Every structure is written in C-alpha cells, then in structure tokens.
Amino acid sequence: MSPKQYTKALTIAGSDSGGGAGIQADLKTFSALGCYGMSVITAMTAQNTQTVAGIQAAEPQFVAQQIDAVLDDIGTDAIKIGMLFSAEIIEAVAERLKAHKSENIVLDPVMISKSGAQLLKEDAIETMVKQLFPVAKLITPNKPEAEKLTGINIETDNDIKHAAEILFDTGAKSVLIKGGHLKGKQSKDMLFCKNGGKTDTYVFASARINTKNTHGTGCTYSSAIASYLAHDCDLESAVKFAKQYVKGAIEDGAAYKTGSGHGPLNHFFNVWNR
C-alpha cells in the first residue's frame, strides 16, 4: 500500500511579526483547513496591530531559491501569493512559477497594509500585472486595490463589473473583487469567471460584523481559497467556502483583544476546544 499524501499549499508572501497577516495568517489558514503549509518569504516586516515599523525585503534570487527548494522536492496542490514588495521579486517569482508550470495560483495583489504602510512599490504594479496576472487562476483585489489597478472609482455593482472587465483585459483569468471597503449592511464580494465568450458572475454576501479585529482578513481569504482549490474544489465552491470560513474567523475573533490596534481573526475557531 502506498503512503498517504498530505494536501499541500504554498504561500509566497511577507512575514508579519505580529502574526495576524502575511505568511503567519496563511499558514494558520492552511492548517485550519486541512493543508500541509509551506512558505516562501519575500520580505520581513516589523509589524503589530497598530503599525508597520519597518520592511526588509529578501533578495530576489533567494526568493527564487526558496521556490525551487519547495517545488523540486515536496511540490504543492495550490499556491497563494501575497506581499511581493518589488518588481525584481515579482519577476523572480513569475519566472520560477512558469518554469515549474505551477497551477491553482491565487494572487492577492497586496499594496497597502491595514495601518496604511506601502507593501508594494509604485513602480512594481505594472510588473505584477504583466508577469503574474496571466499565470494566476484568480486575483483577489479589494476595493482600493481594484481602483488602483483599473483607474476607476468603484461604488456600485456596475462599477465592480466594469472594473472586472478592465482586469480581464490585462490578462487576468478570474477576478474576485472584495466588498469589505464598500458601503452597505452586507459585505458583498463578486466573482467573475470567463466562460467562452461570456462572463459568469457569482455574488457572495454576508452581514457585516461590528469589530475592528480584521487585521489579515485579505490574506486569510485568499489562502482559504487556495486551500479549498488544493482540496479539488471548483473555483466557485472554493470562494464560497472561503467566505464562510473568514466570516466565522472574524465573528469568533471579535470577542478577543490582541494589541491596541486592529486585532487578528481567530483562524482556529473551528478547531480549538473551548
């Protein structure tokens, strides 16, 4: 009888020393959702619930070396990409993922931290669009990121649809525009998938939760989607289940106080025995 295999997921992202976002949030999410988690660190941040005090980027060739070390030996069933910081790192990541013919890539185009710190250099945005959008199965911008990428103001469903079409024109295969920054009683996310000559649209809505403990929500959402893709879910189901997971993690995490700023989600709400 052949040995069992873990379902595996890889995060390529920055480190959050406060543990709420970045690779720490990704690895917690992978573990909570039944995946063996691996990491490629693109940058280290000195970070807590209030601020990003400093950023130290990894050398691009070392980022590439990390990717090769994982994929040459262990392999993966899905990849989540988060903070990339520079054009040089983006180019190194894109080159190695293409060389490995990687699939099930979820790209969270992280640009600004919850505290307002710049996590992607301005001159790196075009490189990310050109090099990584075409290889990703899904990109997951929030409202400010989608506005930055498309140059349009997003307030309505029609604005969201327009933004998705612009992103498709850049080479994106599927687009999830997250509605956490939009107004309204519900947090509504819209998934757009190209299906031949038409676009399939899916809406995922949930009631807003009154809490400031939302640090790492985007990282958690994208890594949850990657986890479900690793478990062989189709894209619509992966987003649906990931949305449910994030909602539960925010709801449970709202009862806790961690630090003095935006606290983290409880990634293990569905695992820990109270």
User: Which residue among 37, 219, 243, 253 is the active-site one?
Assistant: 219
Cβ atoms of 154 and 178 within 8 Å: the answer is no
Helix axes 125-132, 143-150, angle to 10 degrees: 90
Q: Is 216 in the active site? A: yes
Structure tokens of 244?
């449910």
Backbone φ and ψ for 183, nearest 5 degrees, come out as -85, 165
Q: Which of 22, 218, 253, 263 is catalytic?
A: 218
Question: With contact defined as beta carbons under 8 Å apart, do 240 and 246 qualify?
Answer: no
Residues whose CB is less than 8 angstroms from the CB of residue 73 and which lie 6 or more positions away in sequence, other chains included: none
Q: Pick the catalytic residue: 214, 220, 240, 243? A: 214
Catalytic residue among 178, 188, 240, 243: 178
| Residue 267 CA, distance from chain mean position | 15
| 214 included as an active-site residue | yes
84 contacts 60 by C-beta, under 8 angstroms: no
Residue 178 known to be catalytic: yes
CB atoms near residue 156 (< 10 Å): 10
Residues labelled as active-site residues = 178, 214, 216-219
